[in-house]
Structure formats: structure tokens, C-alpha cells
């Protein structure tokens, strides 16, 4: 009894060494439920953040359509249109590590308030330049590049703040919903953008996008998150902390590799989509828009079912299947000469592509402590968004010599090889999210 009293008395407790926060715990066996992806929306902070991001991303897609069309009208050059995408995404590769370090050192909510406000200012600058008749490559591309740099610092905090908004057991569902809102925005944004572009002009599209940022800024001002502990390392050691974590964790390294493969060899489908629509399927601009829309509809379906699939199959099986099916569908798209068949295939490509990147996102979020999450997620954004323009440019260059259909068939080969590699060798992914061990509900 005396020993127990001494053990329980606070004044006799021995000082304990600091222990680094553990990664998010894996879900325990629980009663079987068919679908619970929407549950995070019941939580006030996540619901506010999700809704604000949805409005803002609709504005972003609206602007992307108007921007590409405006640059094409000014230059009549596909090269300069591709440079719009390049300027938007290449800063993620150049500044992603710094954005990740900022996400771990600073208050992520405040970081997002600053970056979203800057992005709003750049959208307004595009509107002013266009309204005043000064729109040109020399004026538009620098603004786009600055906005891209802002997003490089925004993205890691945007990803890393999600686990702070919901109970940890709902993280898979929250990430699926985050991918869903991005995909929904990709469905409605271009459609609204096309209407505004025709009715009001590009300047109004840019202005509406600027106004859309107010939704996510208002949400960020209303939510409350706990301040995470910053990393104890400094200098270059802190900057490369995410890379060090990836080197020390085979699971994180594998998830990053899967993301990179999907971005390099899966995402170029969208780059080649206009060529396939016009030269292979014989469609006009409206037909191309329809193909893009059906891809986006598939993306919504893939995003919202990701959490359920990952729970049932486990992370290794899910990622291996996504890579394999994506390769098969891209090959089939390269073979198809029917608009109906190609549309059906694109729905599948959109679903599997989005499921793959959403699954790897959730896997990395559950594999690292909060103090490193920003830096690890910056690597994810570099592998996904940063490699996208590189894969697109490479696919475009190959298509010049071989044609778009043959290029698509070639893209399927590395995806198939990666699927085999993950299925056979990536056993560490079973420790991230294993195959579900759910039990039937007693009721």
C-alpha cells in the first residue's frame, strides 16, 4: 500500500524525458458500417473549412479556364498556354520544402490566412490588368508565377491542418472529403467559367475568383485549432526533416513513389485530352469540355469512396490496384476510337486517379507526428503537383513524334510495373492502414 501511495503521489514522480508525438493511431476493429465518409462534416471546424475551400476552389477552376482561353486568344500558341500550367505548378518543386518547414514552425491557420489573402490579391491583379487592356504574356505570367509561389507555401499547411479539425479516427474520411470538394470544384468551376467567359469576359472571371477567396478566409477566421509543437531542429536539418523521415520510413517513401508515378504517368491524360478529343475522336471545343467533365465526375466518385475502399482492402492492396487499373484504363483510352467508350473510360480514369492520390495522402497523414506533418506533406505536394507539369511536357513531346494514342499506351507500362512492385515488395504499407478487421454489429 505504501508503495502504491508513493507511486501515485505527484511530488514523488520521477521526471520523464520528452517523447515525440506518435503518428496517428490505426483504427481499431469496430462495428461494420457501410459508409461513413460524410461524418467529418458534422464537426463545425472541418465543415467550415471544407465549405470555404469548396467555394474558393470553384473560383480557382473558373479562373483557370478563363486564363487559358485568354492566353490562347492573345498568343494563338499552345506553347504559351502550357506555360500557364508550368508557372502555376513549378514553384511547388522549387519552394515546397520551405512551405513545409513554415507549416511545421508557424501557426498553420495564420499561414493559410496570409497565403489565401495573397492569392486573392493576385487574382484581383489579373482582373485589373485585363480590365485596363494591358493583358499580355509579359504581364500575366509573372502574376501567375507569384500566385504559384504563394500556393507552394499554402499547400503544406492546407494539407497538414486537416487532422487538427476532426477526431483522429475520422482522418481517412476527412481526406476523402477534401479530395471530393476539389473534384466537385473541378466539375462546376470550368462550366461556370465557360459561361462567365462568354457572357462577361475573362476580367470578370478573375474578379469572381478573387471574391471566392473570402469564403475560405472567413472560415479560417472562425475555426480554432490547437498550436502544434514546432520542430526542435534548426537550419538545413529542419528544412530537410521531411526527406529524412521519408528515408527512414519505407512506408512514407513508397507512398511518395506511388504519388510520383501517378502524377508522371497518369496525370498526362489531361494534357493529351484536347488532342485526343480533336484529332482522334473528331470533337469540337464543346466535346472536349464534355470529356473533361466526365473525367471530373469520375474523380468525385473516386474521392468520396476512397476511405471505404482503403479500410476494406488495406493501403497496399488499394494502391497496387489503383496503379494497375489506371494503367489498363489509360491503355484502353489510347486504343478507343468511340466517343461513348472513351467517355466511360475517362470516368474510370478520373475515379482511380483520384483514389490513388487521396489514398497516399491519407497514408502519409497517418504515418507522421504533427511536428513533421507539414514537411512530409510538402513532399507529397511536390510529388503530386510539382511533377505534374514535367510529366505533361514529356508526354506532349513524345506525342509530337508518336501521336497521342501511342503515347497513352506507353504511359500504361510504367504504371503496370509499379503496381506489380507495390503488390510484391511494399509490405510496409500494411502497417499504415491494414485490411479492415471490422466485426458485424450486434444489432
pLDDT tens-digit readout, 123-172: 999 999 999 988 888 899 999 999 999 999 998 999 888 888 888 888 88
Report the alpha-carbon distance of residue 293 to residue 212 in Å, rounded. Answer: 21
Higher pLDDT, 112 or 38: 112
Report the alpha-carbon distance of residue 71 to residue 69 in Å, rounded. Answer: 6
CA atoms within 13 A on the CB side of 352: 25
pTM of the model: 0.81
Report the alpha-carbon distance of residue 39 to residue 47 in Å, rounded. Answer: 10
Taking phi first (over 0 means left), then psi (-120 to 50 degrees means alpha), and beta for anything else, what does residue 201 get? left
- pLDDT at residue 221, rounded to an integer: 93
Higher pLDDT, 178 or 38: 178
352-375 residues labelled b (16+ CB within 10 A) or e (exposed): bbbbbbbbbbbbbbbbbbbbbbbb
Report the alpha-carbon distance of residue 165 to residue 160 in Å, rounded. Answer: 10
Closest CA to 412 of 254, 271, 268: 268
Question: In the structure grid, which three cell numbers stand for residue 206, read together?
Answer: 478573375
Closest CA to 373 of 272, 381, 63, 46: 381
pLDDT at 331 over 70: yes
Is 424 exposed, middle or buried, given 0-12, 13-18 or 19+ CB atoms closer than 10 A?
exposed
pLDDT at 14 over 80: no
- pLDDT at residue 38, rounded to an integer: 78
- The mean pLDDT of 205-212, rounded to a whole number, is 94
Q: What is the pLDDT of residues 69-109, one digit of tens each?
A: 788 788 876 677 777 878 888 898 888 888 888 888 888 89
pLDDT at 423 over 90: yes
Report the alpha-carbon distance of residue 126 to residue 134 in Å, rounded. Answer: 10
- The mean pLDDT of 175-191, rounded to a whole number, is 85
Q: What is the pLDDT of residues 15-64, one digit of tens each?
A: 444 444 445 444 444 444 555 677 888 889 999 999 999 999 999 988 88
Q: What is residue 129's three-state secondary structure? A: helix
pLDDT at 180 over 50: yes
Closest CA to 116 of 182, 23, 181, 210: 210
- pLDDT at residue 112, rounded to an integer: 94
Report the alpha-carbon distance of residue 337 to residue 432 in Å, rounded. Answer: 41
Highest mean pLDDT, choosing among 231-235, 327-331, 368-372: 327-331
Confidence of residue 237 (pLDDT cuts 50, 70, 90): low
Tell the residue number behind the cell numbers 473533361, with chain if given: 292
Higher pLDDT, 143 or 194: 143
Instruction: Please answer whether residues 397 and 79 qualify as being in contact, where contact means their C-beta atoms are separated by less than 8 angstroms.
Output: no
- Phi and psi at 31, nearest 5°, equal -55, 140
Confidence of residue 121 (pLDDT cuts 50, 70, 90): very high
329 CB-near residues (< 8 Å, 6+ apart): 345, 348, 349, 352
- pLDDT at residue 231, rounded to an integer: 61
**Alpha helices, DSSP H, located in 266-314:** 268-275, 285-313
pLDDT at 443 over 70: no
pLDDT at 439 over 90: no
pLDDT at 427 over 90: no
| Residues above pLDDT 70, as percent of the chain | 85
Report the alpha-carbon distance of residue 170 to residue 49 in Å, rounded. Answer: 15
Instruction: Please answer whether residues 112 and 56 qualify as being in contact, where contact means their C-beta atoms are separated by less than 8 angstroms.
Output: no
Output the average pLDDT for the chain.
83
- The mean pLDDT of 255-279, rounded to a whole number, is 89
- pLDDT at residue 78, rounded to an integer: 66
Instruction: Please answer whether residues 126 and 67 qualify as being in contact, where contact means their C-beta atoms are separated by less than 8 angstroms.
Output: yes
The distance in angstroms from the start CA to the end CA of the chain is: 44
Closest CA to 324 of 406, 404, 265: 265
Question: In the structure grid, which three cell numbers stand for residue 289, read together?
Answer: 469540355
Stated length of the chain: 443
- The mean pLDDT of 259-268, rounded to a whole number, is 92
422 CB-near residues (< 8 Å, 6+ apart): 254, 258, 316, 319, 320, 323, 429
- The mean pLDDT of 328-336, rounded to a whole number, is 95
Q: Mean pLDDT check: name the lowest of 274-278, 325-329, 420-424.
A: 274-278
pLDDT at 307 over 90: no
| CA dist list (Å): 76 to 69, 71, 279, 287 | 10, 8, 18, 20
Structural domains of the chain, ranges and CATH numbers in brackets = 42-168+187-224 (1.20.1250.20), 240-434 (1.20.1250.20)
| CA dist list (Å): 261 to 182, 296, 357, 388 | 21, 20, 10, 10
18 CB-near residues (< 8 Å, 6+ apart): none
Q: Mean pLDDT check: name the lowest of 179-188, 336-345, 401-410.
A: 179-188
Q: What is residue 439's three-state secondary structure? A: strand
What is the C-alpha radius of gyration for the chain, rounded to an integer number of angstroms? 23
- pLDDT at residue 6, rounded to an integer: 46
Amino acid at each position: 500500500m505504501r508503495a502504491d501511495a508513493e507511486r501515485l503521489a505527484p511530488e514523488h514522480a520521477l521526471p520523464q524525458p520528452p517523447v515525440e508525438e506518435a503518428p496517428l493511431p490505426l483504427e481499431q476493429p469496430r462495428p461494420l458500417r457501410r459508409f461513413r465518409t460524410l461524418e467529418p462534416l458534422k464537426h463545425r471546424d472541418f465543415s467550415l473549412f471544407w465549405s470555404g475551400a469548396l467555394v474558393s476552389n470553384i473560383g480557382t477552376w473558373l479562373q483557370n479556364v478563363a486564363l487559358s482561353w485568354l492566353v490562347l486568344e492573345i498568343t494563338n500558341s499552345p506553347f504559351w498556354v502550357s506555360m500557364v500550367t508550368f508557372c502555376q505548378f513549378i514553384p511547388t518543386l522549387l519552394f515546397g520544402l520551405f512551405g513545409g518547414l513554415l507549416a511545421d514552425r508557424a501557426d498553420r491557420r495564420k499561414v493559410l490566412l496570409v497565403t489565401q489573402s495573397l492569392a486573392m490579391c493576385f487574382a484581383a491583379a489579373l482582373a485589373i490588368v485585363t480590365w485596363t487592356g494591358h493583358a499580355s504574356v509579359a504581364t500575366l505570367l509573372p502574376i501567375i508565377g507569384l500566385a504559384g509561389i504563394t500556393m507552394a507555401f499554402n499547400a503544406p499547411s492546407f494539407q497538414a491542418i486537416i487532422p487538427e479539425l476532426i477526431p483522429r479516427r475520422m482522418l481517412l474520411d476527412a481526406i476523402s472529403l477534401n479530395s471530393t470538394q476539389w473534384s466537385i470544384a473541378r466539375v462546376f468551376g470550368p462550366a461556370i467559367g465557360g459561361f462567365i467567359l462568354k457572357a462577361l469576359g475573362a476580367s470578370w472571371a478573375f474578379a469572381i475568383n478573387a471574391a471566392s477567396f473570402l469564403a475560405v478566409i472567413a472560415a479560417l477566421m472562425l475555426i480554432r485549432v490547437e498550436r502544434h509543437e514546432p520542430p526542435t531542429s534548426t537550419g538545413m536539418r529542419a528544412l530537410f526533416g521531411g526527406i529524412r523521415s521519408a528515408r527512414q520510413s519505407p512506408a512514407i517513401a513508397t507512398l511518395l513513389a506511388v504519388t510520383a508515378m501517378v502524377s508522371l504517368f497518369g496525370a498526362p491524360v489531361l494534357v493529351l485530352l484536347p488532342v485526343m478529343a480533336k484529332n482522334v475522336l473528331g470533337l469540337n471545343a464543346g466535346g472536349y469540355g464534355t470529356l473533361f467533365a466526365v473525367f471530373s465526375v469520375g474523380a468525385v466518385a473516386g474521392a468520396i469512396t476512397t476511405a471505404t475502399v482503403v479500410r476494406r482492402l488495406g493501403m497496399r492492396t488499394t494502391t497496387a490496384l489503383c496503379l494497375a487499373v489506371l494503367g489498363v484504363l489509360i491503355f484502353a483510352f489510347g486504343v478507343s476510337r468511340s466517343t461513348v467508350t472513351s467517355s466511360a473510360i475517362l470516368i474510370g480514369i478520373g475515379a482511380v486517379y483520384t483514389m490513388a492520390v487521396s489514398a497516399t495522402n491519407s497514408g502519409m497523414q497517418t504515418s507522421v507526428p504533427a511536428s513533421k506533418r507539414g514537411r512530409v506533406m510538402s513532399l507529397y505536394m511536390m510529388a503530386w503537383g510539382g511533377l505534374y507539369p514535367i510529366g505533361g511536357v514529356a508526354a506532349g513531346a513524345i506525342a509530337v513524334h508518336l501521336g497521342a494514342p501511342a503515347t497513352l499506351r506507353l504511359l500504361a507500362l510504367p504504371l503496370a510495373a509499379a503496381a506489380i512492385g507495390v503488390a510484391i515488395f511494399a509490405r510496409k504499407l500494411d502497417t499504415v492502414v491494414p485490411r479492415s478487421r471490422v466485426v458485424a454489429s450486434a444489432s
